Structure formats: structure tokens, C-alpha cells
Amino acid sequence: MRILLVEDDQALSAGLVQALTAQGFVVNALASGKQAITAVRSGDCDTVVLDLGLPDMDGLDVLKQIRLKHTQLPVLILTARDGLDERCKGLDLGADDYLVKPFALPELFARLRVIERRLGTAGSHLITLGDVVLDSAAHQVLVAGEAISLARREYNVLKLLMESAGRIKTREQLEASLYAWGEEVASNALEVHVSNLRKKLPKDFIKTIRGVGYSVSAT
């Protein structure tokens, strides 16, 4: 899942980018409301994590602008404003969730996983397809009951495919979900990740849709 983090506290932003990336999310960070609105219009994110105390405009005004054209884009508010009226106002304006600073990282991860499941086809943090079980909470994959070791992007590719079981993920969709802005992408990087995964998974678990992308069966 591609997250747009809008937070002007540089230390907090850097810490969140590091923590969220370690959890398998792809994170792009911005520090102003106007930049965030422009980025959302480009369609280059799946979820927005939005601070309200931004330097150029109030975060609630950013939320209003997002909702004008992007009614279904999940927005999770992070803020130090802990009053009931503020929380209700944010939710009434279309926020999907609200987390008050200071917050525990595991709670933020859990709330984002809920959003991620809503965007995909998985109904819980456990996705089971045949002998393969992916646990997004533990960041672990089991094959026939045995844990397998996956590099971060291998795990992300598998997670994206399993969450969309029965649907084709194009090369472009997969690459966009694996790399943040500015990261260099080798021309054959995705093929290498898929090849490495196939060595660790049951035969024919990942199917190539020639000229389009990849998929895994929903059964």
C-alpha cells in the first residue's frame, strides 16, 4: 500500500517513514497542505496519513479539498488536537480514522492494516491460499506450516498478489506499490522478485499473464 504522509515535523516524519517502510508500506512524505493536494490529484497514493497542524493551511481544509474529487481515498488523521469536537469535525468531513498524538506505533500499523484490508480482498490479517499463509500483523509467510524468509520487496509483491487473489496485478501497478518517489527501479527488478518468490512457493502459485502482469488464484 502506498501511503502519502503529510507531516511538517521533520523528525517525526522521518521516524514514521522508517517505521512504516519496515512494516512493508511504501511511503512518500510531504510537509505542506498544498503539496499534499497536488500529490493526491496525481493519483499516486492509496492512503493519506494527514497531520492537521500544517504550516501553510489547516489539515481540515486539506481534507475538504481531497474529498471534493477523491471521495473514496482513505484518510487517517494524525494530530495533537484531542478535543471531542475536533475529532467529530474531522470524521464528519470525511476522515476514515483519527489518531491523537502521542500515539503508539503498533496502533498506527494496526489501523493502516484495516484500511489495507478494505482496499484489497482479504478479510483479516491472515490470508490463506492453499498451503500459503500470509500474516500481515506478524509480517510472516508460512508454506505448508513452515516459515520462509523473504526480502522486504519479495514480501510486498506476494502480499499485493495475495490481497488481490483472483485479480491480475499489472507490472505498472506492482512497481508503483513497491517504490517510493525518487527510488531507482531497475528494468528487470520486478521479474527478479517474482523469480525469487517462485523458488520459495509451491509450483505455479504465481501465474504470469503474458504482456499484462501476474496473479494468484483465489482458491
DSSP string, 6-54: E---HHHHHHHHHHHHHTT-EEEEE-SHHHHHHHHHTT--SEEEEESB-
Check whether residue 205 and residue 106 sit in a common domain. no
Rg of the chain over all Cα atoms, to the nearest angstrom: 18
CB 30 within 8 A of CB 4: yes
φ and ψ of 119, to 5 deg: -75, -30
Check whether residue 75 and residue 11 sit in a common domain. yes
pLDDT at 9: 94
Check whether residue 7 and residue 103 sit in a common domain. yes
Check whether residue 8 and residue 109 sit in a common domain. yes
Check whether residue 28 and residue 67 sit in a common domain. yes
Nine cell digits for residue 87: 475529532
Query: How many structural domains comprise the chain?
Result: 2
Check whether residue 110 and residue 6 sit in a common domain. yes
Check whether residue 78 and residue 151 sit in a common domain. no
Q: Is the pTM of this model over 0.95?
A: no
Sorted by sequence, the CB contacts under 8 Å of residue 80 that are 6+ apart come out as: 53, 100, 101
Check whether residue 131 and residue 115 sit in a common domain. no
CB 75 within 8 A of CB 63: yes
pLDDT at 199: 95
Domain stops at, among 67, 88, 119: 119
Q: Which domain holds residue 192?
A: 126-216
Domain stops at, among 90, 119, 148: 119
pLDDT at 126: 85
| Tens digit of each residue's pLDDT, the chain (219 residues) | 889 999 999 999 999 999 998 888 889 999 999 999 999 998 878 899 999 999 999 999 999 999 998 988 999 999 888 777 777 888 898 999 999 999 999 999 999 988 887 876 455 678 899 999 999 878 899 999 999 999 988 998 999 899 888 889 998 888 887 877 767 666 788 999 999 999 999 999 999 998 899 999 876
Check whether residue 74 and residue 107 sit in a common domain. yes
CATH number at residue 41: 3.40.50.2300
pLDDT at 14: 95
Check whether residue 102 and residue 24 sit in a common domain. yes
Check whether residue 181 and residue 93 sit in a common domain. no
Separation between Cα atoms, residue 174 and residue 214, nearest integer Å: 9
Domain stops at, among 87, 104, 119: 119
CATH number at residue 189: 1.10.10.10
Check whether residue 102 and residue 133 sit in a common domain. no
φ and ψ of 159, to 5 deg: -60, -45
